[in-house]
Structure 1
């Protein structure tokens, strides 16, 4: 789960991280009123969307008067920002952060993430603050410094000290930087984050450090421990299909392609996405229907995959363990009844591969009740190759 920058800063502030004073605004009038409350000669008008690269897309403006605040707020509110993280469709700006300006001497990058290889939290920092960290990692990886944290003892003072000196901070800023690192780590652990990022962390003119921007991502599996975080959720920033799928107890992630896939089990689902790519297709989604795939649930999955016309073909790849292949087949029939008037067709080609529990019964159901556009595949490889070919032929 993601939240907005101003919400992240409120959380970090409660953990002792120094952040600029700022207030959220949902209208131009509120933006101007907030600027008056801050009473600073310089204000920053910042678009609040769940994506990076807002500044390059025109979503961050420095205002030196109330008139400029009004002008920039009018320009940004309601605008669709297209950044490297939003995709070509962009995201509409529904809220702003009006923030006091800062005396910036130098910008740095700081974050805490989970390293899956070591199964430990890692503190990462760089002198290249304000830039996309992926670009820094690709072009100048030597400028990224790391400290691996032992979960038994947590972040230790010598690690924060060593990181501060690696960043080349002036002597007067070392202690404030150490404090900020410790507070950010406490927030990361205390709120079950999957990412806690400050980009940029800035050195101010008086050799203090603060979080000029902030991003917190949370482990969805731990949200039951944090009802206060759940309340911050902005569903307008999330994919409608993903929300609909979650309500139906389906694990769905939109991947933007045109070859949809419905699979049981996360491992097989990822392998299916990979094999679609291998045969030259673009996966539309990751969809794990889980282990209790009753016909109604399968029909719901079909509805979600077909919504909006994104999917030009569907690959059903089921290896029945707890799942029963006959129920999956029955679900495909139910989907046809819901989607088409005659109940005997589907709007896009569907390739079905069934193996495991009641696989033969599932194949017989689909064979005895033929549905237009449904093709049986004997193997996973053959099924993936077939659906990619059909989708490409339909678009030729």
Structure 2
């Protein structure tokens, strides 16, 4: 879920428009007020004061309240509310502050938007407090019979009511749970209003709605005086008509840049993910990072090295952006970097995790185009550029960038997966000497792992204590026989899954069938090693499940618009025990609905917004581990074709690939792992299973911590656990509680990304939907501290994570808990012809050659004459036919004769035949 705040005016306008309809006419609001913008400074604009008065004549007839509408908290205490003013007084008060800088607490920003609304005379005892917010399994309403600026700690004082997902709210429940301290004479009307307000909250997909004070007048009219609200932006496709045109304001203190709007607009028109937030336009450290999780990690590391105050931007480009999109993104960043010179120069860090399916060379082609355009400016501004990237076709991408750098004289240093993801940051900042650049002539193979010298001793491990009585879950893990059904015509992902199966020496493919509602039941051809196989394709889930009753995994590639419907349908079939939801942008309410049904039916869910999961030697879901390219480069490099000893869970799909790489270089490899998606937080936490390839045999509701401990903590083959969490949510505390209770006895290495959040003066929504703290306990720093105190192995920074993994792994080997074995032969998978040809590794003669027309070059040719020459020389239809029929250009009299024949024979009626014969005979 992408939770975004809206202006107070927008929230009140929605309430004014929809409350009468929702409440059946019982409740209504007065005027929502008028939003005053800098347009009032231009008397000729549509937003001038004259136009505002013309459209809202009531402004002259009532007293008013004026206040900034820019997501500013505690405006009253900051002296930013003008109360009980005439129109002229309110106008003057606004004009005195319009486009002026204002300091609010520790943040300074420019006041540009004001709300002017009717003043509502009332008594202090008529003020109340209400707040609605969403949690994992329920919504919650907080109500306090007193309200206003001095309401105090409502978390401690307010009455609370939880509404489980899918359940209706009744007036009787509201009265009994929330209104016991309210005047009995007002309880009925207030209960009715709260029920209507909650329906408004759910119908419009709010994630947070706070009204303080909420005033109930003597005539029982209910008026919201101050409102703060946040919407689930992913629900736009469901509620766009009700929302209308909404403004998504930046936090106070951070200006809205046109460059941000450009990237946001481009993001809305593409399937890729493009984000840009400008933090400090004069900063020296700029980043261009591929991947949401990686973008947070890079920002953290910059802050860890003491340069958080110089971090200029936050953003990401991921999800396979096109060459042109990457060019525009890179060009935008470079243009921003050139605005302000710095005598010591600047740094551009171009990084990212190991891509799953993005063609790195294609994106870097766009990057190179931008570097060529700004080459002179880059040198003039003394910008130092370092690149670290990996994934499909990364070698070609790095080679191209290096060649362009040498030609342009930019001095760019490039690195691949052999270099730790954040290692380029201290190199760029000049804190350590740059590492030697890698050999780009061949892919990086599996890291050479030296077995740990036990110095002759052969210790025997003691094993880990069993799970406490009554806590062990009976779950079934994925095996080499587990099979799946894939929803959606995702041929590339399916081929990648089959190649992984073949590499792992499975006896049969892990994909039994595909579902595609928009075509007939024609099978699709795939490769099983070097052999071709046919995969059945069905138009309905029902038919696919009936014909493949032994399948237990459902991989859902449906779009965010239809994934709710298709997932609920899939859960109707009892043999499907695990469902992976790949789509991003699934609305919060639909997600929670899926959670509820999944728990009722004992189905495990991965996602939404996940790249999938992987269990080496058994099963791979979707594009996890990287798409099938040159012999599954990343699968080989990370040794994912055979199980290791480390099991992990990651909130980031892109970072899961990076974790595979880190684990492989610092231990004997991955036992299993899953990217659960960025929704693991208090506002959105799916019922996930550690790999979610464990099948329920119990109807118990399992929280993440319990599931982790019930599977990998009990699995003797998983020797150590790794958790990559993030800022936002409280679920990491489930693991802490399990550790304290002795439920987890194996060593756990844990780190939460997002520690850089403390460097920002304004709230930042990171690339991940869940990566945003809504309280001190949800900060990454607090979680890391709590996990360390609970006995987890927590490094000082993400940059130190590889060392921590190696340290714990070495200790387990020395204790005999892990017994190392020599590496066997690396399995091979035949390379796909299309990809190999694209890389220029093979060539193949054409099966058919035409000596007449040829479209293999830059343009079509007719018997050696280019199509452009055909039009330039105006050879006409006769000339074209002479080239195609006679393989040469005939004289003009011949081509005229051909054209005359065509003109005469254009009508094929019987009357023409005589004339045609006469012409032919005369010519003969």
Q: TM-score with structure 2 length normalisation?
A: 0.37
The aligned counterpart of 2:84 is 63
Equivalent residues of 2:84, 2:119 under 8 A apart: no
Q: 1:67 to 1:368 in 2, by over 3 A?
A: closer
Q: 1:32 to 1:389 in 2, by over 3 A?
A: farther
Decide which structure has the larger Cα Rg and report it: 2
**Aligned equivalents of 1:346, 1:292: Cα separation in 2:** 30
The aligned counterpart of 1:12 is 15
Give the alignment of 1:190-339 within 5 angstroms: 190-204=203-217, 209-228=222-241, 231-234=244-247, 238-249=256-267, 250-254=273-277, 256-257=279-280, 258=283, 259-282=285-308, 283-309=311-337, 312-318=346-352, 319-339=354-374
**Aligned equivalents of 2:351, 2:53: Cα separation in 1:** 55
The aligned counterpart of 2:816 is none
Q: SS of the counterpart of 1:217?
A: strand
Q: 1:141 to 1:343 in 2, by over 3 A?
A: closer
**The one of 133, 145, 149 aligned to 2:163:** 149
Equivalent residues of 2:209, 2:227 under 8 A apart: yes
Q: 1:236 to 1:314 in 2, by over 3 A?
A: same
**Aligned equivalents of 2:177, 2:30: Cα separation in 1:** 23
Q: SS of the counterpart of 2:399?
A: helix
Q: SS of the counterpart of 1:334?
A: helix
Q: SS of the counterpart of 1:92?
A: coil
The aligned counterpart of 1:381 is 422
**Aligned equivalents of 1:363, 1:47: Cα separation in 2:** 49
The aligned counterpart of 1:109 is 129
Are 1:186 and 2:214 an aligned pair? no
Q: SS of the counterpart of 1:355?
A: coil
1:205-245 C-alpha deviation (Å, 9 max, x unpaired): 66764311223332222212333456433478654333211
- In the alignment of these two chains, the number of paired residues is 380
Which structure dedicates a bigger proportion of its chain to strand? Answer: 1
The aligned counterpart of 2:390 is 355
**Aligned equivalents of 1:142, 1:235: Cα separation in 2:** 31
1:90-141 C-alpha deviation (Å, 9 max, x unpaired): 3413x542313231424443222222xx2432223456744599xx66xx74
Shift of 1:313: 3.0
**Aligned equivalents of 1:144, 1:278: Cα separation in 2:** 39
Q: 1:128 to 1:362 in 2, by over 3 A?
A: farther
Give the superposed CA RMSD: 3.6
1:307-341 C-alpha deviation (Å, 9 max, x unpaired): 44489433322322211222333333212112234
1:353-377 C-alpha deviation (Å, 9 max, x unpaired): 1122222223322333325253335
| Higher mean displacement: 249-258 or 307-316 | 307-316
Q: SS of the counterpart of 2:223?
A: strand
Equivalent residues of 2:7, 2:71 under 8 A apart: yes
**Aligned equivalents of 1:59, 1:325: Cα separation in 2:** 50
Q: 1:84 to 1:206 in 2, by over 3 A?
A: farther
The aligned counterpart of 1:393 is none
Equivalent residues of 1:180, 1:210 under 8 A apart: no
Q: SS of the counterpart of 1:280?
A: coil
**Aligned equivalents of 2:198, 2:77: Cα separation in 1:** 29
- Work out which structure has the larger RCO, using CA pairs closer than 8 Å and 6 or more positions apart in sequence: 1
Q: 1:84 to 1:261 in 2, by over 3 A?
A: farther
**Aligned equivalents of 1:174, 1:302: Cα separation in 2:** 58
**Aligned equivalents of 2:243, 2:258: Cα separation in 1:** 17
| Higher mean displacement: 185-194 or 11-20 | 11-20
**Aligned equivalents of 1:192, 1:236: Cα separation in 2:** 18
Equivalent residues of 1:20, 1:101 under 8 A apart: no
1:56-75 C-alpha deviation (Å, 9 max, x unpaired): 45542113445433432433
Structure 2 residues without counterparts, runs of 5 or longer: 21-26, 37-46, 251-255, 268-272, 341-345, 432-924
Equivalent residues of 1:48, 1:97 under 8 A apart: no
Q: 1:229 to 1:246 in 2, by over 3 A?
A: farther
Q: 1:204 to 1:331 in 2, by over 3 A?
A: same
**The one of 366, 370, 377 aligned to 2:401:** 366
Q: 1:161 to 1:384 in 2, by over 3 A?
A: farther
**Aligned equivalents of 1:204, 1:252: Cα separation in 2:** 45
Q: 1:89 to 1:297 in 2, by over 3 A?
A: same
Equivalent residues of 2:7, 2:248 under 8 A apart: no
Q: 1:215 to 1:380 in 2, by over 3 A?
A: same
Q: SS of the counterpart of 2:142?
A: strand
**Aligned equivalents of 2:239, 2:82: Cα separation in 1:** 33
**Aligned equivalents of 2:386, 2:170: Cα separation in 1:** 54
**Aligned equivalents of 2:138, 2:426: Cα separation in 1:** 39
| Higher mean displacement: 286-295 or 368-377 | 368-377
**Aligned equivalents of 2:298, 2:121: Cα separation in 1:** 49
**Aligned equivalents of 2:412, 2:145: Cα separation in 1:** 55
Q: SS of the counterpart of 1:224?
A: helix
Equivalent residues of 2:263, 2:275 under 8 A apart: yes
Q: TM-score with structure 1 length normalisation?
A: 0.79
